[in-house]
Chain A
């Protein structure tokens, strides 16, 4: 009798257990599982850096294509060669990719902020601090890259079903406040050794990265004092002065990945040919070609910098800080100091600072330049020093040098258009997307902000 009762109870227990309808998904972890455990949150930080590498690549690719940096290769789709001439239709894949990937980075950064906050005291404060600073910095940069390609953009997107677009001034202020949060976080609670060694991608220096981002967006906001202050905080020597993302096999560097195939682009030969012949930055970035041409028979060179699939991708070049500093000083009419900063970029030679960054190895400027000349020279050096970083487009905009669509075989200079059309992927599901911005009709031009 007892046996029967036991069996009945066991049977009941088994069948009730089998009846549970709350089944876990064994194939992918849920939001709760990832954001509530230290290991999950740490993995999220790695995922964020991976997404950042992708969105940064998409942004720089697009900016290079609508300026005088890149052109389509012969295998590329027609939309790539259209963009190279300044034509980007709404819904074009490469433009959608910019917007989609930037906001995926932003969402992952938001997830990381949520996760880091939820960890509380389960993990050492320096690690939490590092996670938060990383999330603030990469979210800010992703938004900053977006505002360099879109006239308006949503800045408040977490758990919002239909995000609202705001103008550049508001977005820029938001980006800078995020970067200030990152800087404060690092200053208040320095990131732990564990964070720096095991979470941050090897080769990235978080404090330097935050400061150069602060300088970059202060400059875009015409805040010379803040730009100068932040630029001065960027380390200039030693390997830690350079932050770059690494791609151990089987991962492939972004530029190497788009060299061939239907999204193929390559540096315009014009980039090298417009330099002084002795400028070493040409051979740093490209391998000279006399034969390679693109889809529109544009003369091209091949990559040297990204020739290897495993070549690291710099998050920034440290000399950007010097160029920002030079520009801020010039704007403050401190012309001698400005020229000195500029010359330190011009005269950077192999071995000079021990970094794998572009080195012009040119002579110093002989005479003190006037302010306008200085600014023009700064932008010339930015063109060569910051090749492929995406900053060229904003520089053209800032200098009112958008020159409109250029039909092949003519070669563009500066930039061919002002903004990207808004993403169809957003427009299809979000009534708050504004009408596409109107491109200027007479050139050279600045851009309606």
Chain B
């Protein structure tokens, strides 16, 4: 028993669970095995079943009829393991004789739970799921490829309980996507999980190197990965599971495994996809044909000019194959996506080679190399009010004619630019050149000992340019004379990992596994900026300007960790694990740097695939600690630094007003979780349920310092925050007959976030926005002025002109408390501002249904929903700002008196001062994915392509059920960009602000896949 685990572990490092060959190079000696695998209840042949000859590297995969053949098996007593996702694996013993062929047929029973699945992430070494005390989510390649998504994180949406995966922007190339595992756990560093690809920590930064709407949502760099290269993804959601990643793991870990290739002749797959994106629906604007003076007024709807139906295409070619010594997977991909907003686009080209070589009996080498080039044409959004397109759309009155006159675009009267000018003339091209590569050596000096070493590199070169012509921006600022900017930034992450695992069974049913490891990560970001204003009439480069300036920054972060882990298994039923990581990062003060992160877990398998109603039952519990580090912007916060301050033409220094913290240490999360996996109804249903409770202490943020010290603030532990919640994953096989399969998956997530304590006063979370970090409230609650209500009746208090009374306005509420209370009929309006909403969802859920009909037609639909969250609609608020008067509700101000819908004059300008007025329910259900596939495998087709042609018609975000009035309830001003300082301060808690974002499109696509 023990030995087989070790052996499987050794191979599993490289092979774990991957599909094995359907063809073998013929060998002169040995015997062969053939057979057919069928579904136990439906009786039909099962495709894609993997058959492995244990103790060898031989195996096969069944064809569409469930048939397989394996040749060249060394003679002797052999054991066959027959596996398929969603089925209970079967082990068969056979005797193989040289030159003989034996037949092994098998029937597999549906089983929604597979406790023998091997997990790598957070476990030190490959470990079967049954032994883990924590829950690990996994997403396999079929779920990713069927999602028809542009990026990996898009493909994960709606698949993982406990994860809030938000597409914050609809810009092409995947938008800016944020992933929150089990809530917001930090105010710094974005709260996004640690991403690892094939053992290499990669950069998922969302650098914004030019002002494209300071805190809006740049593409996150996970977008560079090609979803078609991915074999499967493992997600660990919290400190208990991620303790072995130490001071970076508080936000969870997502590990992506790319495909490894299968033994056999070269096997090519070509996928081609053509898509069309469109704006889901336009926003209503003020199209009333009269102005405030009652005179006729021409109105324009510029959405027709700004948005378009945008085509995209994606081509993917993969080839895989190998012998029992060498396996390879190579891919090339090209995608070109136009954005629904004119002038935006994203293009990605990439190539990958994964190579595995048996170097000697005991040594396996793995090399991966992935080169990506991403080119984006983007525009400014969100907060960018000088040249941002959406901001300009909302802020400019609909009565302004933006069409060019004699080639010159008129500028709007008050704020922003002419959106047509921006589309036509403003350019923000980005080019990303990225290489991700790794080398891994797996050495088994003897069967009980496994040594593993990985070195990886992620090197990203990012060039951002910006060209704003002369007279494209209002006002007299230098920007109005044009700007050209060129920024080069390189991010290099080097990662080294070494792990040793020793497995032994000292007596009877006791099994022990000891693991020790070392990890070193070095991340270096270098940025050089050159920019100028005062552009010449012709020329877009910095050299065309008259006021050039340059800047340069360098940031380096290193993290070192050692860990040890002891696992104990008894009777293959009870599993105990204790581990500790000892971790240090350069960002922390030397005195506080070395921190220990322990974890303890226990699992007990009560039932494992028994027949009957209740088939599988496993109980688990874990307790663990993990940390998080400041993001790059605060990487040097331990140092007391000086800032340049030249005076009278001489170089000068002054003390930086942000005071360093010479005792800086990491945030620390303590998490415990209990959970169970239950399989029932004869394997046709399963539930995976987890309750977790996480407390993060020493939360880092800026505490204010007394200004009499000459400083303003200091990066400091300011408080504690908890996340408690429930995650449920339900799989069912509703129908399983010869011609119809119907399976469903339901996820449910409930998280309660609470800022438990704050050592400083509550503070504005996003600088300049009405949200708060406040003890006793969820992080990022909306906090601001409200419309006063009558304390007795609860009715809105109106002034003499039937307008709302602003809670924080003395003209509306009086200057003294007594006056306020008299107006209010009580004390309910005593406070000037209050908590007015919560952007954190009450719960989230998804519902996936897949039908396979006659083995040829596959239909699937994924509904993905977020419930009970509030959104502050600042986009519509902007429509009412100043002279914009763009909103539908402003139209009602223009109506003639006597019309029952008439609103009193200045009603809308007054609601500007009532933030509560802009809060809306942000609950939504999206038809996230829907697709229909048909396999054309009639004979003429099969002559061309062995497996026929798979045609898929699919849609993404086709429909949204929501009461939210803006473009999309999912877009968020601050999604991927936490970590800004001072006026652009942004925390991971800043959610639910809709302000000039890029609407998320509806996407239709048609794809074809062929194998040859």
Contact = CB atoms under 8 A, between A and B. Distances in A.
Interface of A: 18-23, 25-31, 33-34, 40, 43-51, 53, 96, 99-100, 103-104, 106-108, 110-111, 154, 157, 160-163, 201-202, 245-248, 251, 423, 425-426, 428-430, 433
B647 interface: yes
Q: How large is the interface on B (under 10, 10 to 19, 20 to 34, 35 or more residues)?
A: 35 or more
A46 B656 CA distance: 15
A103 B708 contact: yes
A46 B642 contact: no
B653 A43 contact: yes
Given A100-B707, A425-B707, A428-B706, 13 more contacts: A21-B590, A22-B590, A31-B655, A46-B646, A47-B652, A50-B646, A107-B711, A108-B655, A160-B709, A201-B648, A251-B649, A429-B760, A433-B706
Contact of A108 (B554, B586, B636, B710): B710
B651 interface: yes
B595 to A, nearest CB: 13
A40 B654 CA distance: 10
A30 to B, nearest CB: 5
A162 B704 CA distance: 12
A429 to B, nearest CB: 5
A20 B705 CA distance: 32
A50 B560 contact: no
B94 interface: no
Nearest to A35: B642
B691 interface: no
A96, A100, A154, A433 — most chain B CB neighbours (10 Å): A100
Contacts of A104: 654-655, 657, 710
A74 B704 CA distance: 34
Contact of A26 (B522, B554, B649, B703): B554
Of all A-B residue pairs in the complex, the 4 with the closest CB atoms, nearest first, are: A107-B710, A50-B647, A46-B652, A47-B652
18 contacts: A27-B555, A31-B639, A31-B641, A34-B642, A40-B653, A44-B654, A47-B654, A99-B707, A99-B708, A103-B709, A104-B654, A107-B711, A108-B654, A163-B708, A246-B648, A248-B648, A425-B712, A428-B706
Contact of A44 (B586, B653, B660, B705): B653
A107 B648 contact: no
Interface in B654-674: 654-657, 660
Contacts of A53: 647
A21 B586 contact: yes
Nearest to B706: A430
A154 B710 contact: no
Contacts of B712: 100, 425
Nearest to A165: B708
A108 B646 CA distance: 14
Contacts of A18: 520, 522, 558
A362 B656 CA distance: 49
Contact of B558 (A23, A28, A423): A23
Contacts of B142: none
Given A29-B641, A430-B708, A201 B647 contact: yes
Contact of A50 (B520, B654, B710): B654
Nearest to A46: B652
B707 A96 contact: yes
Contact of A29 (B522, B584, B653, B705): B653
A51 B647 CA distance: 9
Contacts of B711: 107
A343 B751 CA distance: 80
Interface string B695-734: 0000000011111111110000000000000000000000
B509 interface: no
B652 A426 contact: no
Contact of A34 (B590, B653, B708): B653
Interface string B575-589: 000000000111000
Contacts of A43: 650-653
A30 B642 contact: yes
Contact of B710 (A33, A103, A248, A430): A103
B95 interface: no
Nearest to B657: A104
B652 A21 contact: no
Contacts of A23: 556-558, 586
Contacts of A40: 642, 653
B687 to A, nearest CB: 45
Contact of A47 (B639, B653, B703): B653
Interface in B548-600: 553-558, 560, 584-586, 590, 593
Given A25-B639, A44-B653, A49 B707 contact: no
Given A25-B641, A46-B652, A47-B652, A426 B708 contact: yes
B334 to A, nearest CB: 37
Contacts of A247: 648
B178 to A, nearest CB: 27
A49 B654 CA distance: 10
A26 B551 CA distance: 13
A21 B709 contact: no
Nearest to B560: A19
A162 B707 CA distance: 10
A245 B642 contact: no
A228 to B, nearest CB: 33
Contact of B651 (A46, A423, A429): A46
